[in-house]
Amino acid sequence: MRRTAVIALLVAATGGATSVACTCVARSDAEHLAAAEVVFAGTTLASTDANPGPVRGSGDPITWTFAVDRVAKGAVGSTIEIVTARSSSNCGATFTIGQRYVVYAHEDRGHLSTSICSGTRAVGVGEPPFRLRYVAVYLTSGDRLAHAVGKIRPGEHPGRGAVRLLGSLGHPRGRAGPSSAVPPGTRLLRYAAGGGTVRVVLSRQFAAIPAARRRLALAQVVYTATDLPGAVRVRVRTPAGPIPGYDRALRRADFRREAGAGLSGR
């Protein structure tokens, strides 16, 4: 099992007491990626303190829950729990609820952990966290959207790859699991993004969707296309022209019913 090097130094303090300081060995993102078992980007949802007081130690474990939106390495679901030490003096990583991070995690006694030496860091607005291999794709469960993860081609634009995958994922043919209102074989003919708007042209299979399933299929496209930072609106067409009743820029907020309570509706 690989580990990122961590050096804990005892530093003399006033009065003869000692404290622990953490010093890390400098590594590149590629080296951090190679050393970690799991690497993802996600937003912090909550934290759990195993020792809420009154006496606390800097090395006490804090468990952070993340909503995952990108995966670079490892098997990761839509949420994940990561353990770190309470204080940076014990190499604990510092997180803020609602902030997005790229997290490099290691297996440690049955759980995943990270530290300030692992490469974990905050991600700025619109900043790509890493070269993407996996992207969020929105399939269906009944009449609601379901979050899934799909693998894109090497070097493929993540937005283009995610929308392309909608025509090939989620058709289990009798097996249990997420399905799709997007017809199998639907191809992405054109993808363009700019100024917060994504424009996609899908093949004629999409135009043939029954009216009862059309709204759910559009919800899949809109949620998938707007999963990347900076994308907020989607215009969908087929070679036959605009989708009847939806000849406008669509947002996630237009599909609150399909999203349910568990997905963002910005």
Highest-pLDDT range among 1-10, 115-124, 128-137, 200-209: 200-209
Residue 1 has pLDDT above 70, yes or no: no
Q: Which two tokens stand for residue 132?
A: 């993407």
Convert the pLDDT of each residue in 250-259 to its tens digit. Answer: 999 999 999 8
User: How many angstroms separate the Cα of 93 from the Cα of each of 19, 34, 74, 101, 174?
Assistant: 18, 19, 20, 11, 44
Could you tell me the domains of the chain? Answer: 6-50+59-122 (2.40.50.120), 156-259 (no CATH)
Convert the pLDDT of each residue in 139-168 to its tens digit. Answer: 998 899 988 878 888 777 778 888 999 988
The phi and psi torsions of 111 (rounded to 5 degrees) equal -135, 170
Stronger pLDDT, 51 or 1, i.e. the higher one = 51
Compute the distance between CA of residue 76 and CA of residue 73 in angstroms, rounded to an integer. 8
Residue 20 has pLDDT above 60, yes or no: no
Compute the distance between CA of residue 168 and CA of residue 174 in angstroms, rounded to an integer. 16
Cβ(240)–Cβ(207) under 8 Å?
A: yes
Burial of 66: CB neighbours in 10 Å, binned 0-12, 13-18, 19+: buried
Q: How much of the chain is helix, strand and coil, in % rounded to 5?
A: 20, 35, 45
Per-residue confidence (pLDDT) for residue 131, from 0 to 100: 63
Per-residue confidence (pLDDT) for residue 148, from 0 to 100: 83
Q: Supply the pTM of this predicted model.
A: 0.57
Q: Where are the beta strands (DSSP E) in the chain?
A: 6-12, 18-24, 38-49, 61-73, 79-85, 100-108, 111-113, 121-122, 134-141, 144-151, 188-194, 197-202, 233-238, 241-242
Closest CA to 1 of 101, 113, 79: 113
Compute the distance between CA of residue 18 and CA of residue 23 in angstroms, rounded to an integer. 16
CB neighbourhood size of 49 (10 A): 12
Compute the distance between CA of residue 96 and CA of residue 65 in angstroms, rounded to an integer. 11
Cβ(69)–Cβ(150) under 8 Å?
A: no
CA-derived radius of gyration, the chain: 22
Per-residue confidence (pLDDT) for residue 57, from 0 to 100: 73
Convert the pLDDT of each residue in 168-225 to its tens digit. Answer: 887 655 556 788 999 989 999 999 988 889 999 999 999 999 999 999 999 999 999 9
Q: Which two tokens stand for residue 21?
A: 């300081």
Query: Reduced to 3 states, what is the DSSP secondary structure of residue 162?
Result: helix
Compute the distance between CA of residue 132 and CA of residue 151 in angstroms, rounded to an integer. 9
